[in-house]
Every structure is written in C-alpha cells, then in structure tokens.
Amino acid sequence: MDCNFSNQLMIAIENNGKTLDFTHCCVLYDEIIQKSSIQELLDSKDVFSYLNSIFQQNPKNHNFFPQNSDCMGATICDFSKRNLNFLTISTQACNLNCNMCVVDRVKTPEDFQESKNAYFQILEKIKNLKLQHLQLSSSGEPFLHKRMLIDWICSIQENTIENIGFVTNATLLNKEDIAKMCNSTKSKNIGLTSIVSCDGITSETYKKIRNIDAFNRVVDNILEFKKYNKLYCVNFVITPDNIHELKDVPEFWLSKGITPRIIYPICHPEWDWMREDQRVKFIQENYSQYYVNN
C-alpha cells in the first residue's frame, strides 16, 4: 500500500503554536526545509507566493527522498504555479497518552490554547485555496477541538478543496458528528477520507496501549465512517503489547469489509522485544499487503 503522505507539503505547528516547520513528508521530520513564525504565514497576502519564497530560501531540499525510501520519491511542487496538491496541517495536541507515542505533547493549558489558536488561524488562512487534498492531521488528534473543526469542515465551499482527510483515534466522535461531516462534504462534492487508529482487536489490548476504555466506541465509529464510504483504512501500530494479536488483525477487519494497515516501527528506545531483523522479515513475509514501514 502506498504511503498516502507522499508528494506533499506539511506545515507542522511547533513550539506550542509559536513557530512552523515546513517539511516534505510526515515521516522525515529531520528534513526540515525551513522554520518560520506563524505570523509570517498569516500576514502573507498570497499563500502560494509565500510558500514559494520558503523553498527558494532552501532549494537544496527540493528533491531529497533517498532511493531506498518507502515514500514514492516525489519532488516538491513549484508553488509559483499554484499547483500544491497535498497539504498537511499538523499539531502536537492530543487527548490520549499512548504507550508507543514519542511525540512531545502540548503540556500546559496556556500552550494548549496557543496551539489551538495557531491551528485554526492557519486553517482559515488556507480555507479558500484550490487544493487537491488537505490533511488535517499527522501527529496529534484533530478532533480535540471537535465542534470547531466539524463546523470548519462543513463551512468549506465547493470548488476549493477537493478532498479533506484526517488521521484520528475516533474516541471523541459519535454518529451524529460523523453524519454531519459526511453529509456536508457530499452535498458539495468534496471528498472526505478518514484513517482511524486502533491498535488492538480486543478491549483489553486497546486499553493497555491507549490507556482508555474506548475500544467498542472506536469500532462503532469506524463502522460509521465505512457506512458513508469515507473510511480509507484502520491503522494498527505494532507494539510489544499487541504483537500477539497481529496474526488475527487482517481477519478481524476484513470480516467487516475494512482494510487494515499494519505500521512498523513506532517503538520506544528502551523496548527490547525480538530482534529487529527477525521482526521485519516476519511482518514482510506474512503481512506484506497490509504493511507500511513508517
């Protein structure tokens, strides 16, 4: 399965809403093209011209994907031609504290508010751009500010953003929320693509990893997205706490008509479980059609 974050630009909100990092791909955080203040983007009269100036400041990174990368080897767009096709807005704020997560989360109420303000200011700034795809998250939980984000999605007009996507843990959503988003985007011919993270196929395993008893609610929401044909896949991140369920993951989701996506590795440095080469070989040999080396 191809990485659906390739051929894109990601704007990552850092420093609790004070600065922005511009990168090519969600998995290459060390390849920061340029840092900027959020105010520079907000003050720009033309977003495309501003983005083009960012890349002109650091042209050496226009094509940095290594030959052995799992990404698709995309080169960055020339924004002067206004052909940005995939934009991600990423924030570090989240409602969960999952065992395998290595993202430095927003820690104080003040920082939380600043991160929220930055996120929605940027969304308003790019709201009317003609984009092929807008990804509302990479790290963090986009529906942490559920009402505001759903209202924003429903406010998008036809002939602007062609498709809106997000990765969510789906713990904060309900059937009414999903119906509102799906019906609104459908009425305007706007695509909606959801990826839901669910790292267990039992309540016990899910709770052990995500530290919340929400497995049944998440599965219900996944099925609700599927009902509207708005589900891209379910993410299953391999950890020491769920590897015993790995062999049953495909059957569990395929029996519901849903495609799983098995992700490896997101591992804590102190974890010591199976040798890496053996683990990778085992996963590639048995789950290659669902496997993403992320």
| pLDDT at 74 (0 to 100) | 36
Token code pair at residue 182: 């799906």
DSSP 77: P
Three-state DSSP at 133 gives strand
For residue range 250-264, list pLDDT tens digits in order.
999 999 999 888 876
pLDDT computed for residue 149 by the predictor: 95
Cα–Cα distance, 11 to 171 (Å, whole number) = 25
Q: How many helices (H) and strands (E) does the chain have?
A: 9, 10
Instruction: Tell the residue number behind the tokens 């924004």, with chain if given.
Output: 79
Residue whose pair of structure tokens reads 């809106």 in the numeric block: 164
C-beta of residue 137 within 8 angstroms of C-beta of residue 167: yes
**CA triplet 180, 181, 185: central angle to 5 degrees?**
115
Q: Which amino acid is at 61?
A: N
pLDDT of residue 6: 41
Cis peptide before 265 (omega within 30 of 0): yes
Burial class (CB in 10 A: 0-12, 13-18, 19+), 198: buried
Q: Using CA atoms, how far apart are residues 51 and 84, in angstroms rounded to an integer?
A: 10
Beta-bridge mates of residue 61: none
Round to whole Å and give the CA distance between 23 and 139: 14
Query: Given this model, what pLDDT does residue 100 score?
Result: 79
Q: Give the distance, in angstroms, between the CA of residue 132 and the centroid of all CA atoms in the same chain.
A: 16
DSSP lists the bridge partners of residue 23 as 10, 32
- Backbone φ and ψ for 195, nearest 5 degrees, come out as -120, 125
- Through-space distance between the first and last CA atoms of the chain, rounded to whole angstroms: 12
Position 11 scores a pLDDT of 75
109: tokens are: 């109420």
Domains and CATH numbers, the chain: 9-293 (3.20.20)
Cα 256 from chain centroid (whole Å) = 23
Here the tokens at position 38 are 């959020």
Task: Give, for all 294 residues of the chain, the pLDDT tens digit.
Answer: 344 444 457 777 776 666 777 665 544 444 445 667 788 888 998 887 887 777 666 544 443 333 333 333 333 445 555 556 667 777 777 888 888 776 666 556 677 777 788 889 989 988 888 888 888 886 788 998 899 999 999 999 998 889 999 999 999 999 999 999 999 999 999 999 999 999 999 999 999 999 999 999 999 999 999 999 999 889 998 887 888 898 899 999 999 999 888 876 555 445 455 556 666 676 677 776 666 554
Residue tagged 């031609």 (tokens): 81
Q: What is the pLDDT of residues 127-167, one digit of tens each?
A: 888 888 888 886 788 998 899 999 999 999 998 889 999 99
Give the integer Cα–Cα distance in Å for 268 and 144.
Answer: 25
Instruction: State how far the Cα of 6 lies from the Cα of 23, in Å rounded to an integer.
Output: 11
- Among candidate residues 284, 266, 291, the one with its CA nearest the CA of residue 209: 266
Q: What is the mean pLDDT of the chain?
A: 77
pLDDT on residue 75: 38
Cα–Cα dist 136/195, whole Å: 11
